[in-house]
Structure 1
Amino acid sequence: MPSVLRGIGLRMAENGGSYIFQTLGISYVTTVVGVSKSIGPLAIACGAAIGMLVIPFSGALSDRFGRMRVYRFGAALQLVLAVPSWWLLSLGNPYLVVATLAVSYGIGVNVMLGAQCAALPELFGNRHRYIGVAVARETSAILAGGIAPFVGALLLSLMNNSWVPLAIYVLVLSVISFATTFVTPETRGRDLGLAWDAMADPVHGPDAVAPSKDRVDA
């Protein structure tokens, strides 16, 4: 259960940020700010193109420097970008909209995703890995991403279409994931044949050695 909760916490900024910028961000700039409807999809396409490079690069960095260090950097980056990005979107300049959404989604979100793809499976032992990752991912998808458009629309209606509550929304999700990286064990180099979850390992990281009785026979 601790590993599931940590997985959910890690995903709040990544999954929530992805949904917020890809759906809520586009809706905001088109319906509230009045930018052309073609700008939003163009911005997300640019972000996806950037992500094609950022995700494997981030994953490679996590192999070298550790999953949580890279994940923490991604969460911190999204935290720093939260207020400036929504302010820039509110200006209604099409070029700024494309650049802001592309960077916020393509880099801010995908730095975390690159580390996450390895980190989540490594949090769980081989007996519970599938169910552990599935529960962590899908629960966070509901809590962070699934309700993002509804929460965003509600905030806009309550705050007279102000961008400030949306920035605070991203800030909160980023803080959750940033804080979670400090209570999540470093799993880089962890033996995926271990039967127990990462939180139960006697030693974390690349030097972890499992007793023979807990290894899975080849």
Structure 2
Amino acid sequence: MKTLRTPHDWSDAAAPLDPAQAKSASGKRLFFASFLGTMVEWYDFFLYGFIAPLVFEELFFPKLTPLSGTIAVYATFAVGYASRPLGGLIFGHFGDKVGRKSMMLVTLLMMGVGTALIGLLPSYGQIGIAATYALVILRFFQGFALGGESAAASLMVLENAAQGRRGFLGAALQSAGPLGVLLASLAVFLVSRLPHETLLSWGWRVPFLLSAVLVIIGMYIRLRVEETYAFKKQQGQQELARVPVLETLRNFKWPVFVVLVVSITESTFYYLTGVYSVSFVTKTMHMPGSVAIGAIACANAFALVSVPIYGALSDRLGRKGVYLIGIVASAIYLHFFFQLLLGRSPAVIVLAVVIAVGVIHAPMYAMFGSFYGELFPTRVRFTGFSMGKAFGTVLGGGIAPMIAATLVARNHGDPSGIGVYYLCLAAVALVVILRTRETCNADIAE
């Protein structure tokens, strides 16, 4: 016979989970919130890089020659990186003073609004030069938001992770980046199949406007997470930095320099192989854009798996060893990458981009979620991370496509100069990593 439950029984049944269960559930929710938001941010930011070479020359730079139009498109792409240091400084300051969670919410909202507004922009043919100016301003707005997001989500996961799993969880979070890029490339791949007139009139707008739906979902989930343990500990002990940027520059110059240099190298390699390759294949080789976009989609799908694997490996071998694998391999591979593309075989193009992004770039990118933050104490971690990463990405990936396009143009279509350009960057990063302390066993709750 079924026993009736008393109100006392109901109270017991509704009791909260024990501390270990509660911490596990909270950790999973925090990771998912950070992952989803990071995915949306990277979808928004890279959408421009994929659509711009296909239609933006005609829509926003119609008065320029094809070569000048390509350079102008990538110059506008670089604007999104020029604003990242400013975003990194401002969000870094408030992230170390107010907390990581609030910065995650603000940056996601800003990025979503900026992306949706790009999708609503009139073209040059409709409002003239004002359209071009508006595009540049919104691109600046996107970069400003990403300057804070890239640190906020990483630190939310890093500061709540167990010591022996920081590399894996940090890299697993970073795989949200390839997923966002994958979704962006798939969205552009689908609209690129439309007739060119349809693509120019309204097709290019659809992927930008879809971002609004993703941002609403991401905001809802992020509102439900708690602040990190490490930040709350500093806050409770009243040990927060008074002016984080000044303390960072005064006492932590070397860690900022390390993050700066490795960010330059990592982002340059990615943007040469995973972004500029679209323009190289379509504008220099005159092949369909769907070939390059399809290759990037496959590469980022592969990176979804490879990035967490490299992160787990760094928990055993250390961050430096894994990063060095990426630096050496990338310096060698880039001398062959564009020659593989020039073979004009769609299958070889896909394989070349998959190896570049999914195999060689992955060990450098995997360290983003653990190594950078581990170099700093909690009181200036957001600021130091943001400053080094934001400035490094501007000086690396932000200008890499423009430099590559200029080198190819000056050499009459010969891409060999790109390999030499990257080799110089990789050599500096190699020396810096060798001189940097290992961080995989560091106590980051200080």
TM-score (norm 1): 0.85
SS at match of 2:283: helix
Q: What RMSD over aligned residues (CA atoms) do the two structures have, in Å?
A: 1.2
Matched, 1:120 2:372: yes
**Is contact 1:67–1:116 with CA below 8 Å preserved after alignment?**
no
Matched, 1:69 2:321: yes
Q: What amino acid sits opposite 2:256 in the alignment?
A: V
In 2, the alpha carbon distance for the partners of 1:35 and 1:54 equals 29
In 2, the alpha carbon distance for the partners of 1:173 and 1:47 equals 23
Matched, 1:110 2:362: yes
Residue correspondence of structure 1 range 27-46 to structure 2 within 5 A: 27-46=279-298
In 2, the alpha carbon distance for the partners of 1:149 and 1:95 equals 23
Matched, 1:13 2:265: yes
Counterpart of 1:129 (choices 355, 360, 381) is 381
Q: 2:339 — aligned with what?
A: 87
Q: 2:444 — aligned with what?
A: 192
Report how far residue 83 of structure 1 moved.
Answer: 0.8
Q: 1:56 — aligned with what?
A: 308
Q: 2:18 — aligned with what?
A: none
Matched, 1:162 2:417: no
SS at match of 1:38: helix
User: Looking at both structures, which has the greater relative contact order when contacts are Cα pairs under 8 Å and sequence separation is at least 6?
Assistant: 1
Q: Extract unaligned runs of 5+ from structure 2.
A: 1-252
In 1, the alpha carbon distance for the partners of 2:427 and 2:344 equals 27
**Is contact 2:268–2:400 with CA below 8 Å preserved after alignment?**
yes
Matched, 1:23 2:275: yes
In 2, the alpha carbon distance for the partners of 1:176 and 1:12 equals 10
In 1, the alpha carbon distance for the partners of 2:429 and 2:361 equals 12
* Cα-to-partner distance string for 1:121-178 (whole Å, 9 max, x where unaligned): 0011111100000001100110001111211111112111111012222322322322
Matched, 1:181 2:408: no
Q: What amino acid sits opposite 2:424 in the alignment?
A: V
**Is contact 1:33–1:91 with CA below 8 Å preserved after alignment?**
no
**Is contact 2:331–2:419 with CA below 8 Å preserved after alignment?**
no
In 2, the alpha carbon distance for the partners of 1:90 and 1:13 equals 24
Instruction: Sort the Cα spacing of 1:35 and 1:173 in 2 relative to 1 into closer, same or farther, 3 A.
Output: farther
Q: What amino acid sits opposite 1:96 in the alignment?
A: V
Q: What amino acid sits opposite 2:339 in the alignment?
A: W
**Is contact 1:29–1:35 with CA below 8 Å preserved after alignment?**
yes
List structure 1 segments (4+ residues) > 4 angstroms apart after TM superposition: none
TM-score (norm 2): 0.42
Q: Extract unaligned runs of 5+ from structure 1.
A: 195-218
Larger radius of gyration: 2
The count of corresponding residues between Structure 1 and Structure 2 is: 194
SS at match of 1:34: coil
Q: What amino acid sits opposite 2:261 in the alignment?
A: G
Larger relative helix fraction? 2
Counterpart of 2:398 (choices 129, 146, 150) is 146
Q: What amino acid sits opposite 2:291 in the alignment?
A: I
In 1, the alpha carbon distance for the partners of 2:275 and 2:365 equals 18
Q: 1:210 — aligned with what?
A: none
Q: What amino acid sits opposite 2:269 in the alignment?
A: G
